[in-house]
Amino acid sequence: MNLYKNLDIDKVLEILDEQVLQNTGRHLLESERLLIKGSWYGRDYKEMASDSGYNSDYLHRELAPQLWAMLSEVIGDGVPVKKISLKAALLKLVRKDYLGLEVSKLNNDCLVGNTRIYGELPKIESFYGREKDISELKNQINHLKRRCISITGVGGIGKTLLAAKLVEETLLDNLNMYETIAWIKINSSMDNLFSKLANAFNLEVNNESIEDKTLILSKYFQLHRSLLVIDGFEQLGQIDNFKKRLEYEKLFIQLAGEQHQSCTIITSQLPLEEVIYATKNLSIGSFRLEGLEERAAMRMLNEKGLWGNQCKELIKMHRGNPSELEEVADRIHRLFEGSVKKFFDYRTTVIGQLLQSMLNQQFGQPGLLSDVQRQIMIYLAESTLESSPPIQFSKIIDALKKRLGLEVSIAEAIRAIEILEQRSLVETYRKSTNQEVSYNLQPVIRKYILVDPFKLVHRKTSELQTGESQTSNFIQE
């Protein structure tokens, strides 16, 4: 399908005007339409002025800077829009509009352009910021040629939505880049992963062994350029059967290690090295997702009807976590008449559902947190406040010795706190390389530990293993 067949500037202006109205509350002015049309056809300001009756200095010095600034916000995606780059930005907008229409029609198995889409991709109703994140992921795929990329981060941080946005942007850039894009969502079990993969890529597999199925999929990736997204890969860490877990590890190593032009993207709450042990020699890109930048988070809160400088305090409190901010915004409207000031007057901290579910899993699932890691987090929660300075590593070691009543090796403590840092459960501070590293907790995690809503925080690993069935209802996502 030729996207630009019969495309004219009037159709482009129609699409652009709708975007401007949604973002600014007004339509394009006639003078602005004149500038856009002239720039589309490569005319200079004098030519535009002579055709319209406007003064060229007015168009160039006054109107153009305001228009480019406005369009940068509306369609720039973090890149400034100028006269010379306007047409490229408008063509991308047209592609995005076309793709939006196509995606709205998607079912479980269909075509977008020449690309076959398999799976139920999340619908992107709103997306804020992340321009640098998208750019870095594209760089890993297109230039560094990563065959696998892991996107990790705490619950609710936006891993799934970022992966979906990356798929959308990939299609926008080139509808023919991949033959197949498959989205596999892992909810509570990986038992049917192989059958899902076979369906996604139309593989003829029957009673072959897992090893043979892995080789068939690997060969397909070599012959057909494909993009595979596995959402919720941390479920692999919950497989107790060593043989079955090893089979999935071999599948992953085969996909990431073989020479091919395909790419696998996984999202996981756990760092990849905790789920797959043999990762050092593989072409894998790791991407730990942090919260939204303040500008993007402010836009999100403004669109939800919250205004004022105290919104910045909300963003800091929740570390820019979009799902946390969305939930707290809803509660501020429902309980505090939409006033951020009234919310802060009560000095409370709201824990969102996705983050709480992740913390339930971390503290409730046997094997995820060691006793040393639990004690580190409990000590940080009990010893710090929002305004407290971070605690030095040496003080944490001393506290562990007192709390556990035994000697804790430095190596064990280092490994324990490194894992907590990789999972974004603790925050690290260091002003210079010569300064001892210090640690803290973000406010919502501190509150969860202190409140301990399901009595999971203080339970020892041995207690969790014997009472696993009793806690299983609490740790389901």
pLDDT at 317 over 70: yes
pLDDT band at 301 (very low <50, low <70, confident <90, very high): very high
What pLDDT is stored for residue 315 in this prediction? 95
Residue-wise pLDDT for 61-116, tens only, equals 999 999 999 999 888 876 789 999 999 899 888 877 776 655 555 556 677 778 88
What pLDDT is stored for residue 474 in this prediction? 35
Q: Would you say domain 107-288 falls under CATH 3.40.50.300?
A: yes
What pLDDT is stored for residue 462 in this prediction? 61
pLDDT band at 258 (very low <50, low <70, confident <90, very high): confident
Q: Where are the domains of the chain?
A: 9-97, 107-288, 294-350, 356-474
Q: How far is 64 from 70, CA to CA, in rounded Å? A: 10
Q: Mean pLDDT for the chain?
A: 85
Residue-wise pLDDT for 217-232, tens only, equals 888 999 999 999 999 8
CA dihedral defined by 330, 333, 339, 344, rounded to 10 degrees? -50
How far, in whole angstroms, is CA 20 from its chain's centroid? 26
- Integer-rounded Cα radius of gyration of the chain: 26
Dihedral class, residue 64 (left if φ above 0, else alpha if ψ from -120 to 50, else beta): alpha
∠ CA 393-397-401, rounded to 5° = 170
pLDDT at 5 over 60: no
What pLDDT is stored for residue 380 in this prediction? 94
pLDDT band at 472 (very low <50, low <70, confident <90, very high): very low
pLDDT band at 256 (very low <50, low <70, confident <90, very high): confident
pLDDT at 159 over 90: yes
What pLDDT is stored for residue 433 in this prediction? 79
pLDDT band at 469 (very low <50, low <70, confident <90, very high): very low
Mean pLDDT on 172-189: 84
Strand partners, 230: 184, 266
Q: How far is 7 from 92, CA to CA, in rounded Å? A: 13
3-state SS class at 105: coil
pLDDT at 459 over 50: yes
The number of beta carbons lying within 10 Å of the beta carbon of residue 426 is 22
Indicate the CATH number of 356-474 among 1.10.150.20, 1.10.10.10, 2.40.50.140, 3.30.70.141.
1.10.10.10
What pLDDT is stored for residue 451 in this prediction? 93
The number of beta carbons lying within 10 Å of the beta carbon of residue 164 is 21
pTM for this prediction: 0.80
Residue-wise pLDDT for 402-415, tens only, equals 877 667 788 888 99
What pLDDT is stored for residue 271 in this prediction? 84
pLDDT band at 475 (very low <50, low <70, confident <90, very high): very low
Contact partners, residue 94, CB within 8 Å, separation at least 6: 3, 4, 7, 11, 12, 15
CA distances from 261 to 147, 212, 250 (A): 7, 21, 19
Could you tell me which of 36, 102, 29 has the C-alpha nearest to residue 68?
36
Q: How far is 34 from 48, CA to CA, in rounded Å? A: 7
